[in-house]
Amino acid sequence: MSTLNEIQKIPYDFTKNLQEEGAIFELEVPKNLYENLKTIAKKNGTTIFVVCYTIYRILAYKISGVENLPVILPVDTRNDPAFQDVIGLFVNLVVL
């Protein structure tokens, strides 16, 4: 519960504007940066996702001061071939 109290203290420099429409944010990673991330991941026996997630956690801590900030990720759960023809969105949210 103390983490939730600390999350409310996270500084932000804009007012929250709840919209019904989303936005797309595209980021192109330079090839040399991608290669460096791949090298770090391989050297540590992990994936590029884990390296980027770690960088994100460090940045989030530096900005917020909250050590145990929960991060929620959508996870596709349509990996069973039996569900390939089923219509619908099969997404779970995982808190890391």
DSSP code for 10: -
Q: Where are the alpha helices (DSSP H) in 13-72?
A: 31-43, 48-64
Phi, psi of 17 (to 5 degrees): -120, 105
pTM, 2 dp: 0.63
Identify whether the C-beta of residue 3 lies closer than 8 Å to the C-beta of residue 70: yes
* Tens of each residue's pLDDT in the chain, 96 residues: 455 566 656 655 556 666 666 677 888 999 999 999 999 999 999 999 999 999 999 998 888 888 888 888 888 777 777 777 777 777 788 888
Q: How many C-beta neighbours within 10 Å does residue 54 have? A: 13
C-alpha Rg value of the chain to the nearest Å: 18
Rounded Cα distance between 74 and 93, Å, is 5
